[in-house]
Chain A
Amino acid sequence: MYPVISRHLISASAVLLSVTLIAPAAYAQSRAETLRYVTAATVNTLDPNIPGSTREAFALSMSSYDRLVSFGRKQLNGKWVFDLDTINGELAESFSVSPDGLKLTFKLRPDAKFHDGSPVTAEDVKWSLDRCVTAPVLGKAQLLTGSMTSADQFKVIDPLTFEVTLPRPDKLALPNLATVYPIILNSKLAKSHATPEDPWALSWLKENEAGSGAYIVETFKPGEQAIAKRNEAWNRGSSDKPASFKRLIIQSVPEAATRANLVERGDADLVIDLQASDVQALEAKGKLKVISTPQYNAVTFISMNNKIPPFDNVNVRRAVAAALPYDDMFKAALFGRGAPLFGASWTDGKPPSGGYPIPQPVKLDLEKARAYLKEAGVPEGFATTFSFNVGQASTAEPMAALVKESLEKIGIKVDIQKLPDAQMSTAINEKKLPFFTEGIVAWLPSTDYFYRNFYTGNQRWNYSSTDNAELEKIAQAARFEPDKAKYEAEGKELNAIHFEQMFQVPLWQPAQDAVMAANLDGYVYQFTRQVDYRNLSRK
């Protein structure tokens, strides 16, 4: 009996040894050349245009597809962020805007190739943009904000020249072409998978990629991971080089604590969605690089529905604004990580700038709050519900508790309502919630864009159900305002109306905390609030 057992033992320990010694050595090299990115969410489509696509899907498509142009970067308080005002060519070698602002002309790179080796032509660009404004895709509504609505506006001049015609000069036309939707697809490949019911190959492109971007998608398992390899022929990177990492692994790890462990142990290279408390702990240990950028194109609000009593009374809204415990909420929800939008002092009560958002002159002042309530005719207070999204519970829950506690002091009884994500979206869309917290993001954060999208119309994003004729008039006029000084003045007017009417209360811009291996370089905060993998390298 004995010899048999010992032979088993020997082979078992041999296997063990080979696993512990040989295998890690074999992985080691590929690990150094691989970027492993762990995230809470999941890549659910390879085509960002599909309704329901996640931010992770946007991030992957930024790397697997090219657009005509892309945003540059700038420094903001020592951190790199995307720069809306610098537009660089991506597939376009050069581009020009006609003097009257009505024609955008793009010269394509002659050496650009799709992943299957075929050249990128103006025909492909036309088909892709036609798709964006014609097919039932997300790009349609986005390009509308840049005055691009019809396939007639896109013209092939020659195989490498492409032209966009605009009905009027629109400063958001060019930046729109740098967003995630107007991807340039390999039209021949895509068309070969189109069907009469699906002429734009939506279902095929959802699971297959037909791009020319820096990374070629190898495996795509929604809910688990996506793996991409470097496109060696891609030369749109800095100093005309391919991307730095050979491979890219985007992995879904739902548990925040596990994500933190992974990055701390060096098994993951980068994570952007950790709990604020974990980020703080990791930062204190000092082993990892933590780049914390206020999301300067995002705002977290406390919204009040201006059409539901008693919030239809401006003095009630003012009372709430004066009774919010701003500092405590900022500390409890975000551990102070982000840019506060409260506690400002506006000299002579006028907004100091026409930008959006700007810090508001609000602070906790219960006396003032009581006075406003009296003026509103409800000195005894009232009862209401405060809703938030389960998905945002880690920040919204402590915040809601503080809101309830503070408002109780001026007689407003708050019932906290925690809603599943889909239910919250539905209630907001139907304008049923009186009092809640939400966050907004604009990819192209200009003052008029914010005001038009979030403060006008009967659309979902008008959280506070604002209906103010003057605000709407100025916001619409500002959209096509070519004069910078006038635009700034209009922005100040909008900001003044906002504060005067207190439609909702901007709280802060949460920080995007990117926690990464110390030797990782090149992180830039992006308009998608995601990582642009093409920027990153290992020192």
Chain B
Amino acid sequence: MGTIGATLIRAGRRFLSSLPALFGVLVFTFLLMRVLPGDPAVFFASGPSAGKEEIEIVRKQLGLDRSLPEQLGIYLYDVGRGNLGRSMMTGQPVAKDLRQRLPASLELTLTALVIALIAAVPLGVLAALRPNSLLDHGVRLFCSLGVCVPTFVSGLLLIYVFYYLLGLAPDPTGRLDVFAPVPPARTGFLMVDFLLAGDFEGWWAAARQLMLPAFTMALFVIAPLARITRASMLVSLGSDFVRTARSIGLSRWQIVVTYALRNAILPVITIAGIVFSTMLGANVLVEKVFSWPGVASYALDALLVSDYAPVQGFVLLMASIFVVVNLLVDVLYGIADPRATVA
């Protein structure tokens, strides 16, 4: 109980101390967007008949006719009340857009991360058990291939093989077949919503739809996870406690899993946290290729047309997620190694 309480207090303090950083991100993104060349008003007033007057209308709508400090003040006030502004691109409030799209990105990223971990940890362990063997080189080759093939290439390749040639995968557009009924939205996570609705057919359809993009992304991040697992397993296998364990004649399985891996897993958790945060933002290409209605492709589209509000909202969201993920990693650390909580 005491340790849980301490963990919670520490987590709370860590969260509070990250608020100034979030505020900095907020202001910095705001300024950065305005420094970038490209006037959103001109872009959005670009219909076949849009002239100076229309540009002025849009500028007014976006509040760009005011001075910069005034704009910043209004923006901070709005964000404080939970209003992230309106996207010109979709015509929706940014908060609503992000709320609708974030579960899609999270579901995809989490699935990909789980797939990657399931593949990477055993691969890393195997490679560490036989360093510089053929197996080690094989793992290294596989990882290098995964990293050096860009996600849009592997994504298109997977689509070509599994959808176009074999017809095994459903059509690679969005989270669900357009003709299929959608479950009542409770969490926004389709896999969870289908389970809550008791619709297993729907769950399977959504899972099939999720597979190709998740594997595409997983391929890309297996490498760092496997490398870290291998490196820290090597350290751990060469350490005193493993030697002691060996000398007292414990079984190989027990040594590797209970002693070595448990100690080697800490850096893997750290890296997994970082990998998760970066994946969430960096899966733009995967989201594009699979028409996945996630936040990353949303932010990229917005950036291309200088749609300020969605980009600012996205950066703020990413920063917040980063803070939360870091907290989570801390808590997991505490569970994996109880000594860490006091630090």
Residue B61, interface by CB 8 Å: yes
Which A residue's beta carbon lies closest to that of B156? A257
- Whether A258 contacts B291 in the complex (CB less than 8 A), given A15-B201, A51-B44, A251-B173, comes out as yes
Q: Are A18 and B201 in contact (CB under 8 A)?
A: yes
Query: For residue A44, which residues in chain B have a CB less than 8 angstroms away from its CB?
Result: 89-91
Q: Are A423 and B38 in contact (CB under 8 A)?
A: yes
**B202 → A minimal CB distance (Å):** 9
Query: For residue B50, which residues in chain A have a CB less than 8 angstroms away from its CB?
Result: 51, 138, 141, 460
Query: For residue B293, which residues in chain A have a CB less than 8 angstroms away from its CB?
Result: 221, 223-224
| Stretch in A28-36, A108-116, A184-192, A374-382 touching the partner | A28-36
Residue A38, interface by CB 8 Å: yes
| Stretch in A261-269, A310-318, A479-487 touching the partner | A261-269
Residue B82, interface by CB 8 Å: no
- The A-contacting residues of B in range 27-64, CB under 8 angstroms, are 36-40, 42-55, 57-58, 61
Interface centre among A145, A251, A420, A442 (most CB of B within 10 A): A420
Residue B124, interface by CB 8 Å: no
Q: Are A442 and B48 in contact (CB under 8 A)?
A: yes
Query: For residue B142, which residues in chain A have a CB less than 8 angstroms away from its CB?
Result: none
Query: For residue A249, which residues in chain B have a CB less than 8 angstroms away from its CB?
Result: 178
Residue B305, interface by CB 8 Å: yes
- Whether A255 contacts B288 in the complex (CB less than 8 A), given A23-B201, A51-B61, A422-B39, comes out as yes
Query: For residue B305, which residues in chain A have a CB less than 8 angstroms away from its CB?
Result: 420-422
Q: Are B91 and A50 in contact (CB under 8 A)?
A: yes
Q: Are A19 and B204 in contact (CB under 8 A)?
A: yes
Q: Are B291 and A422 in contact (CB under 8 A)?
A: no
- Whether A141 contacts B298 in the complex (CB less than 8 A), given A15-B201, A420-B304, A420-B306, comes out as no
Interface string of B274-294 (1 = CB under 8 A from A): 000000000000001111010
Interface string of B121-158 (1 = CB under 8 A from A): 00000000000000000000000000000001000100
Residue A128, interface by CB 8 Å: no
Which B residue's beta carbon lies closest to that of A267? B171
Q: Are A222 and B91 in contact (CB under 8 A)?
A: yes
Q: Are B201 and A429 in contact (CB under 8 A)?
A: no
Residue A367, interface by CB 8 Å: no
A390, B53: Cα distance in complex, Å: 26
Q: Are A253 and B43 in contact (CB under 8 A)?
A: no
Residue A142, interface by CB 8 Å: yes
Q: Are A258 and B92 in contact (CB under 8 A)?
A: no
Residue A42, interface by CB 8 Å: yes
Residue A218, interface by CB 8 Å: no
Q: Are B291 and A252 in contact (CB under 8 A)?
A: yes
Which B residue's beta carbon lies closest to that of A224? B293
**A530 → B minimal CB distance (Å):** 12
- Whether A207 contacts B48 in the complex (CB less than 8 A), given A254-B291, A426-B39, comes out as no
Query: For residue B303, which residues in chain A have a CB less than 8 angstroms away from its CB?
Result: 420
Residue A27, interface by CB 8 Å: yes
Q: Are B54 and A141 in contact (CB under 8 A)?
A: yes
Q: Are A206 and B91 in contact (CB under 8 A)?
A: yes
Query: For residue A305, which residues in chain B have a CB less than 8 angstroms away from its CB?
Result: none
- The A-contacting residues of B in range 293-326, CB under 8 angstroms, are 293, 297-298, 301, 303-306
Query: For residue A391, which residues in chain B have a CB less than 8 angstroms away from its CB?
Result: 304
Residue B224, interface by CB 8 Å: no
Which A residue's beta carbon lies closest to that of B52? A459
Partner of B173, one of A223, A258, A427: A258
Interface of A is mostly: mixed
Residue A349, interface by CB 8 Å: no
Query: For residue A80, which residues in chain B have a CB less than 8 angstroms away from its CB?
Result: none
Residue A441, interface by CB 8 Å: yes
A249, B173: Cα distance in complex, Å: 13
Residue B15, interface by CB 8 Å: no
Residue B273, interface by CB 8 Å: no
**B315 → A minimal CB distance (Å):** 17
A460, B48: Cα distance in complex, Å: 11
Residue B159, interface by CB 8 Å: yes
Q: Are B49 and A141 in contact (CB under 8 A)?
A: yes
**A66 → B minimal CB distance (Å):** 21
Residue B179, interface by CB 8 Å: yes
Q: Are A251 and B174 in contact (CB under 8 A)?
A: yes
Which B residue's beta carbon lies closest to that of A247? B179
Query: For residue A31, which residues in chain B have a CB less than 8 angstroms away from its CB?
Result: 179
Query: For residue A144, which residues in chain B have a CB less than 8 angstroms away from its CB?
Result: 49
Query: For residue B46, which residues in chain A have a CB less than 8 angstroms away from its CB?
Result: 425
- Whether A261 contacts B91 in the complex (CB less than 8 A), given A34-B179, A142-B49, A421-B305, comes out as no
Partner of B54, one of A138, A251, A262, A427: A138
Which A residue's beta carbon lies closest to that of B104? A224
A136, B55: Cα distance in complex, Å: 11
- The B-contacting residues of A in range 202-220, CB under 8 angstroms, are 206-207
- Whether A262 contacts B51 in the complex (CB less than 8 A), given A15-B204, A19-B201, A223-B293, comes out as no
Interface centre among B42, B58, B91 (most CB of A within 10 A): B91
Query: For residue B23, which residues in chain A have a CB less than 8 angstroms away from its CB?
Result: none
- The A-contacting residues of B in range 144-200, CB under 8 angstroms, are 152, 156, 159-160, 163-164, 167, 171-174, 177-180, 200
Q: Are A145 and B42 in contact (CB under 8 A)?
A: no
**A215 → B minimal CB distance (Å):** 16
Residue A16, interface by CB 8 Å: yes
Residue A537, interface by CB 8 Å: no
Which A residue's beta carbon lies closest to that of B289? A255
A181, B48: Cα distance in complex, Å: 11
Residue B88, interface by CB 8 Å: yes
Q: Are B164 and A261 in contact (CB under 8 A)?
A: yes
Which A residue's beta carbon lies closest to that of B44? A52
Query: For residue B88, which residues in chain A have a CB less than 8 angstroms away from its CB?
Result: 52
Query: For residue A42, which residues in chain B have a CB less than 8 angstroms away from its CB?
Result: 89-90
Residue B106, interface by CB 8 Å: no
Residue B205, interface by CB 8 Å: yes
Interface centre among A36, A258, A391 (most CB of B within 10 A): A258
Which B residue's beta carbon lies closest to that of A38? B173
Query: For residue A460, which residues in chain B have a CB less than 8 angstroms away from its CB?
Result: 42, 50-52
Q: Are A223 and B304 in contact (CB under 8 A)?
A: no
**B239 → A minimal CB distance (Å):** 39
Q: Are A138 and B204 in contact (CB under 8 A)?
A: no
Residue A53, interface by CB 8 Å: yes
Query: For residue A429, which residues in chain B have a CB less than 8 angstroms away from its CB?
Result: 39, 42, 55
**A141 → B minimal CB distance (Å):** 4
Query: For residue B172, which residues in chain A have a CB less than 8 angstroms away from its CB?
Result: 258, 261
Q: Are A459 and B201 in contact (CB under 8 A)?
A: no
- Whether A36 contacts B201 in the complex (CB less than 8 A), given A42-B90, A52-B44, A425-B42, comes out as no
Q: Are A51 and B174 in contact (CB under 8 A)?
A: no
Name 9 A/B residue pairs within 8 A (Cβ), A-sorted.
Answer: A27-B177, A31-B179, A51-B58, A141-B54, A223-B97, A253-B291, A261-B159, A265-B164, A420-B304
CB-CB nearest 8 A-B residue pairs: A222-B90, A422-B38, A52-B44, A422-B306, A423-B38, A422-B43, A142-B49, A141-B49
Known: A51-B47, A258-B289. 9 other contacts (CB 8 A): A19-B205, A23-B201, A30-B179, A51-B61, A221-B100, A252-B291, A420-B304, A426-B43, A427-B37
